[in-house]
Structures are given as structure tokens and as C-alpha cells.
Amino acid sequence: MRGYNSTWEFIQQIEKAGELVRIQAEVDPDLEVSEIASRVMREYGPALLFERVRGSRIPLLINAYGSNKRMAMALGAESLDEISERITSLIDIKPPNSLKDALKVLPNLAQVRKFPPRTVKRGACQQIVFQGEDIDLFALPIIKCWPQDGGRYITLPQVITKNPESGAQNLGMYRIQVVDEKTCILHSQAHHDTARHLRMYAERGITKVPCAVAIGGASVATYAATAPMPPELDEWLLAGFLREEPVELVKAIESDLRVPAEADIVLEGYIDIEDVRVEGPFGDHTGFYTLKDEYPAFHITTVTMRKNPVYWTTIVGQPPKEDYFLGKATERIFLNILKKTVPEIVDMNLPIFGLFHNFCFVSIRKEYPHHARKVIYALWGLGQMSLTKWIVVVDADVDVQNTDEVLFYVGTNVDPERDVQVVHGPIDVLDHASDMTGHGGKIGIDATRKWASEGFQRRWPKELEMSDEIIDLVNTRWSEYGLSESMKGSQVKHREPILYESDALRAGGGKIGTIESGEAERGMQ
């Protein structure tokens, strides 16, 4: 198995790796935890285990995923790119042409068969059961994150609902505002699967929808709840793949929903579609308060937990925060799958200041006129990418992980009148800048080099580059100059040739070749 099967296993390992600090001083769940964690997150610091939270006997874990190292550890990998390569090896499987080929494929197919979750009779998550008057959500160390928040919020939930038509479960993550000891408000955004399930129940005249919320458990579980899986494709299947072992689920106490057996805490109950409450404000990942809005109440009828539970939580707000690393994991893990749909993509970056839905930088192998616009529209047609407000497309040789480099080419390669496409469509409901909730303007920017066949009739200039010989000379003699080693830097040698258009080649049959930039200039005069 990859990753860790329980919260305490994960805590022990990240502590051993020097990635966790235990805080024994008593802290207040009302804003104090949030301020401490926020300062640590700004410095990309360790996970924090608060062992004494006022009003609760349960320890609180925050910033558990708050670094690339801890994120990879949680998913049982050396790096996130390693997981991406594993996924690629599976989706690249082709039907075998011979017995020899079939034998090569068998190990991967056997691995796939292990992915579905496995139902067990008993789970550690049900070692302790509270019902009726014994239920008290305030016995959990649920925090208030920001001063003007509408109350305390559960911020790292694994929300489980079921499609009434297919019976397929969905695992998602939506903030949950605590109203009283047994009542919450579930922020089920319209664009997500839980809201779709609620609409389906309403169409059938069913107003009380079974729901369960798990907290903690296997180190991969919380991430799986955030992953952008296609509708009706079980997120536990992804979790099983990441673990290389099926996730164990157990039947809930009061419904036929299946909940993760190793979770620390499980809240069972129902969402009352007709019991609409005012939720918010909430200090959101946008860096602003999400304003009050109406969402259905989630009534808790049973609480179960392990004998030694840990309460997982997080805070969101102006970056950097812990959620950045969850989003970055999705970006790297799913990049190769995205390339199967949009194969011209070389790399993608959802920059930290873009809050996942504001900005997307993508590099492409440009092969025909206006290719960048095709990619922009393709991305706007893919799941949660449809909510992206700014998409910037650059050439294949631009490092999209380097924000300054991307912005350099936006400044130098873009004519705003020609290369900027403004459209109207769905956007994140948390976006406060649009006139109406959930839809507004979006911008696509073509920052690639321009070709004659795109209407560009001027010569495209050659970019400045030092010769390789001089770079090597200066590197060799640097110590002789009396300058510090920190000033030496790492001068980039000539970029790899990229795809340029040549009118001559195009006239000879429409082919695109690999042409050095000087030849490209001559071809586009």
C-alpha cells in the first residue's frame, strides 16, 4: 500500500520526517488557530498538531498537506509527477496484438482490478456512536477562520451523497457551516455533483437526501474528495489507484451510504432541500469574504468516530495556504490525462496567485494558424477548467512554471486588439467581480509567436541569446572575476528549436517543420 491508512500513521511519518510540530499550549478554536496556522502557511511551514483545543478533547491537525513533500507523502509517492507517469502507463494500454503483448499488459490490468472500493462489515470509524441528545458538534474542535465568518466551519470534509438514478456515490468537498449542536449548512455549489444530486432528488419529489461527511482517515482520502473526477466515476476508485490497494468502506449506521472505514469522524444525516438557510459570510480562498447566500440545511442524526480521533481542518484565504498544494497535486497528476484530450499541450501551470480558477498558463506545440485559440476553447470545455477566468497560451519553449517568463511573453508577443478573446460563460460562483453569480466574462490570450498565415505581415524578430561558447567561458572563469557565487546564476543556452511556420513548406504541401528562428523570419517576410 502507498500512503498511510490512518491519520495517526500519517502524523507519525511526517513527524519523523521533520514535517510536523506539536503544539501543547491550549488554543482557542475561535480565530486563534487560524491566525497561528496562517502565519506558518505564509512561510511554507510544517503541519501543526494542536493537542489542546479549548472546548474539545480531540486534537486538531492543520496544514497536513501544506508542502509538496507532505502532499507526495500523503499519496505514497516520491513526487507528484511519479503519480502522473503511473496514470499515463494505464491510459496508454492498447489492445494486445499477440500473446506476448497480452502478457506484458496483464500486470497493469491486474492492478486496475484492485481499484474498486471494498465493503467491510466493521470499521474503526464506528467504534464510538453518538445519537439523539448525545450529539454535540461543538464537542469537535471546529474552528472559526476569519472575524466576519458566519460561524464555525468544517473545511476539510469528505461529503458523500448518492445519485438516485444510478445509485453511484459521489465524494466531494464543500464547506459546512455549523449552526447548532445538530444542524449545519452545506455549501453545495451549483456546478458540482452534490448539487446535481439534490436537483435529481427534488425532481422525484424527495426532499430529505441521505448524506454523510467523513473527516480524516487514509492520507489519500481528503485529496480524493477534491479531485476533478468525471460524474459517476467513483473518487474511491482514484484513491484505490493512488494507494495501490482498495479503500475499505463500511455501511453507514442510518442509511445505505458507504463511508470510509478508517475515517476519524463521520457525521450522518440528511440534507433537507426545503430547509433553506442563510449561509456565510465566509473568508474564502479568493482572499475575500464570500457573501451570504442560501443553501440547504444538513441535519445530523448520528455521529461516529474512532476511539482516538484527530480532527482535520484547514483555512483558506490569500495565498499561500494549504489548499494550494491540493490544487497543485491535481494539476500535476491529471496533466497527462488532459494531454490525451488536448495533445498539443506541453505543460500547464495554475499559479498560486490565480487561486485555481482565475489563471491558467499553458504551453503548446503550435502547428497551425490560430492553434492557441483552439486550445483556449478546448480548455473552456473541460469540467472545472470551464470556470477558468484567464487562460494564457505560450509556445512550447516557454516555461509556464516561471510566472515572470510567461508575463514577459504576454507583454512582448501580444497585441491586445488582435490576440485577446473575451467571451461570456460560467465562472466560479465564488467570483465576486462578475455582475451575476456563476457567470461572467472570461479572457483567452494568445501569447505565441505570430505567423503570416495568422495575418501577421511584419517580420518576427529574433530573440536575444548569448552564444554557447561565451556562456561556457564565463562559467569556467567566474571565480576569477571576484564576484560571489550567488551572482553567477545559470545562464540558459540556446533553446531547443520549436515549430515555426514556413510559407515555402506550407506551399509545398502544408507541412510544418522544425525550423530555426532565422529561417522562420525569412519564410514570413
- The answer to whether 192 and 298 are in contact (CB under 8 A) is no
Q: Where are the alpha helices (DSSP H) in 255-402?
A: 323-341, 371-380
Beta strands in 89-182 (DSSP E): 118-120, 128-131, 153-154, 158-162, 169-172, 176-178
Cα–Cα nearest to 282, from 161, 150, 429: 150
Q: Could you give the CA distance from residue 76 to residue 83 in angstroms, rounded to a whole number?
A: 9
- The answer to whether 267 and 303 are in contact (CB under 8 A) is yes
- Which of 234, 284, 323, 428 is an active site residue? 284
Cα–Cα nearest to 257, from 163, 156, 127, 155: 163
Q: Could you give the CA distance from residue 74 to residue 228 in angstroms, rounded to a whole number?
A: 18
Helix axes 80-91, 235-243, angle to 10 degrees: 110
Q: Could you give the CA distance from residue 162 to residue 236 in angstroms, rounded to a whole number?
A: 13
> Would you say how long the chain is, in residues?
525
Please, which contacts does 196-199 make with residues 24 or more away whose CB atoms are closer than 8 Å?
A: 196/231, 197/161, 197/162, 197/163, 197/164, 197/170, 198/161, 198/271, 198/273, 198/296
Q: What residues have CB less than 8 Å from 152, skipping those under 6 apart?
A: 29, 30, 138, 142, 143, 144, 177, 178
Q: Is 193 a catalytic residue?
A: no
Q: Which three cell numbers stand for residue 189?
A: 455549489
So which residues are the catalytic ones?
A: 284
